[in-house]
Structure 1
Amino acid sequence: MTSGPESNVQDMFAQSVAVLSRPSPATFERFERRGGLTSALTYVMIAAVVSAVIAALFSFLHSDVTFFGQLFSRLITIPLGFAAFTGAVYLIGRGLFKGTGTYPEVAYSFALFYVPLSIVSTLLGIIPILGWLIMLAVSLIMIYFGFLAVQSSMNLRDQTQAIVTLVLAWIAQLVVAGVIGSIIGGLFVAGRVISGN
């Protein structure tokens, strides 16, 4: 599996604007081969860093959880969650429905909408009272764009196949997130026990 050509962040941002302003499988098709896995993961790391810094600062100001806990957990969970979800989309789409896309195409397509929407969700999600409504709205928008992206990147034009692929990928991501969360939580607990806090 080759990674494909790589795009810079500026190109990806312009492609994100196009995807978000003209949502359709055809728009995703225009861009899915313009970048590869490295570009997608680099772009996702930008979202992880923005989310980590905002969440860490917000938690520090409100004394909710540790600054470094938020910082490191988001730097780990966001890219791993993205990789798990897009990997599941690829494996399920290919295995169950004979989708013909490649993993770099899936990752790149999903990164184009995931990064800007997750940054918006993080920025607006800290607004008191309205934050959870905004995050819910952004989540629903992400589902819609995911539906379009899976049709394009895996070449699954059957809507039922696209929906089943997304639902099963979401379940797979929840399992992976649970395992990762348990490991990270265990490490923090072990660290506190060792340090005597």
Structure 2
Amino acid sequence: SLYDLGKVQANLHKVPICDGISSTFSIGYVLWQRIIDDAKKNNTTTPFIELLQTEMVALKESIPDDLPRGIIHGDLYPDNVIGVEGEVRAILDFEEICIESLAMDLVTTFVGFGWEEGLPDSELWHSLLAGYESVRPLSDAERAALPDLHRYSVLAVAAWRYWQFVIKIPGTEHTNRYVEMVERLDKALPF
């Protein structure tokens, strides 16, 4: 269940920070800047790349720098969670692990698990949040930042998909997968 996943994620977020873990979210601003710089250099700017550039400036301004940070998974999507009968048995693929905003990681999980037919599902969000907050309550600042953190997360996934399926491996059935994320930007959220 998403309640159980929320609890597991909150417990991950309580793991003490140790040396050797990057403080860079590899599909976040660093990837966006690389995509933007490569497009400028190669004269291949697209509307999506222009969107990334605009959003990067706005989100860096609107997301507080002092939100609680810790070890995050960064990619808690259905293909990275093994569950049996509503219980999380294993979390896989720690490739994106880093030190980053804990609330951003929570909304990234919502991006992966909380949308049905192109719309956010408030029941799924509230289940995930209730499980999470049974272990680690969000601060008021985190709650206030959720919409911007969600936007950042959605664009991070879109940027990764664009990088993978438009730039690195173009011409596959996945070429337009980033568009699914872009279409989520203007939907009303349950927070």
Q: Name the TM tier (shorter chain).
A: 0.3 to 0.5
TM-score for both structures, normalised by structure 1: 0.32
Higher relative contact order (CA 8 A, sep 6+): 2
> Which of structures 1 and 2 has the bigger CA Rg?
1
